[in-house]
């Protein structure tokens, strides 16, 4: 038995281990339960009683030697394998740079609008995008059968079937915030309301079913149309430059009287005519007017004591003019080539 043990000791010492296949062969031959060392342990019962203890110790020493060699070479082969995996990368490839993002142009312009009106004492108010008909239409002097309702194609969420003012819809303007503001606060009020609005319109270079709007409201004693004109003149000059030309056109809105559209010279074509200005040389940037007394009374404000003006403009339209963008659809297409033009602004 001792000769067999010595012979196997020599086999273990001489066994070459450099590959995973050789390591597996070594495990089967010397470490596994069905290997030669396992067979020797089975023969231990045939050894004379007086020699069994010494032979058992020799077998344990042999088993430990085989297990130690297996563990050492297993660690070496695994380390070599990890190293080979690490160098499979092509170190000659150029580095992938980490690129910082940029602020979306609509966000840039929204922040600039807020900054300009903040200089004139306007704060910022917000309200829900899912709204009832009352806040979106009825409280703004839109009668149930008023033709002005047809001016805005609305996304209705739920028709109550009874009072039309209870219908649920996606707001078509941020005027709902004006109504909530007048209901919950007492004059004087001076605030702007930026936010998303929704209208069922065909998507084109000049229109979209989702866009951004900012409205403004100023209510106090002795507020007149000149205050409205001075406010919007100041805004246009600050946003587009001191040489910007501004014109007012009489218009109609159910919630203001008198009402006016505000145009500026098209900054894209410089007044020559293009698809953005419909080849007129002028671009409408806002609608405005003095708040209708019925709207004030509807919100619990005494129209004999207080007057006010309101205005509204599309942030996309302002952004297109400021950065000379000819297609409104670019704002929502997530084209990185377009967005990268605004890095660092």
- Asked, as a colleague might, if the bond just before 39 is cis with ω within 30 of 0, I would say no
CA distance 111 to 120: 15
* Antiparallel, parallel or unpaired: β 189-198 and 123-124: parallel
Cβ 175 vs Cβ 215: under 8 Å: yes
CA distance 137 to 255: 9
φ, ψ of residue 108 to 5 degrees: the values are: -60, -45
CA distance 155 to 136: 12
Tokens found for residue 204: 């084109």
Per DSSP, the three-state class of 168 is strand
Of 31, 36, 34, which Cα lies nearest the Cα of 5? Answer: 36
Contacts of 241 (CB under 8 A, 6+ apart): none
Q: Calculate the alpha carbon distances from 82 to 16, 75, 290, 315 in Å.
A: 21, 11, 76, 56
Cβ 223 vs Cβ 187: under 8 Å: no
CA distance 321 to 340: 18
CA distance 121 to 191: 8
* 257 annotated to bind ligand: yes
List the binding residues for Mg(2+).
Answer: 257
List the binding residues.
Answer: 257
């Amino acid at each position: 038995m001792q000769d067999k043990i010595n012979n196997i000791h020599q086999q273990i010492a001489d066994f070459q281990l450099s590959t995973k296949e050789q390591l597996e062969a070594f495990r089967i031959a010397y470490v596994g339960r069905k290997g030669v060392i396992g067979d020797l342990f089975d023969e231990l019962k045939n050894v004379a009683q007086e020699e069994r203890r010494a032979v058992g110790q020799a077998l344990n020493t042999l088993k430990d030697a085989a297990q130690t060699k297996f563990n050492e070479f297993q660690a070496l082969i695994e380390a070599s394998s990890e190293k080979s995996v690490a160098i499979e990368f092509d170190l000659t490839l150029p580095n992938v740079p980490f690129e910082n993002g940029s602020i979306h142009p609509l966000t840039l312009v929204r922040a600039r609008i807020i900054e300009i009106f903040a200089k004139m004492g306007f704060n910022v108010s917000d309200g829900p995008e899912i709204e009832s008909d009352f806040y979106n239409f009825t409280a703004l002097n839109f009668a149930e059968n008023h033709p002005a309702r047809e001016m805005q194609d609305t996304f209705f969420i739920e028709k109550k079937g009874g009072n039309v003012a209870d219908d649920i819809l996606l707001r078509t303007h941020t005027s709902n915030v004006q109504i909530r503001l007048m209901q919950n606060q007492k004059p004087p009020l001076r605030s702007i309301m930026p936010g998303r609005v929704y209208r069922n319109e065909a998507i084109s270079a000049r229109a979209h079913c989702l866009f951004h709007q900012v409205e403004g409201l100023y209510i106090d004693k002795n507020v007149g149309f000149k205050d409205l004109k001075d406010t919007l003149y100041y805004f246009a000059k600050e946003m587009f430059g001191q040489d910007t030309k501004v014109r007012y056109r009489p218009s109609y809105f159910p919630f203001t009287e008198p009402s006016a559209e505000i145009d500026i010279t098209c900054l894209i074509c410089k007044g020559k005519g293009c698809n953005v200005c419909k080849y007129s040389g002028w671009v409408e940037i806002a609608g405005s007017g003095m708040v209708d007394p019925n709207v004030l009374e509807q919100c619990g404000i005494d129209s004999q004591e207080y007057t006010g003006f309101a205005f509204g403009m599309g942030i996309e339209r302002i952004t297109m003019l400021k950065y000379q963008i000819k297609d409104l659809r670019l704002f929502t297409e997530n084209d990185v080539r377009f967005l990268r033009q605004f890095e660092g602004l």
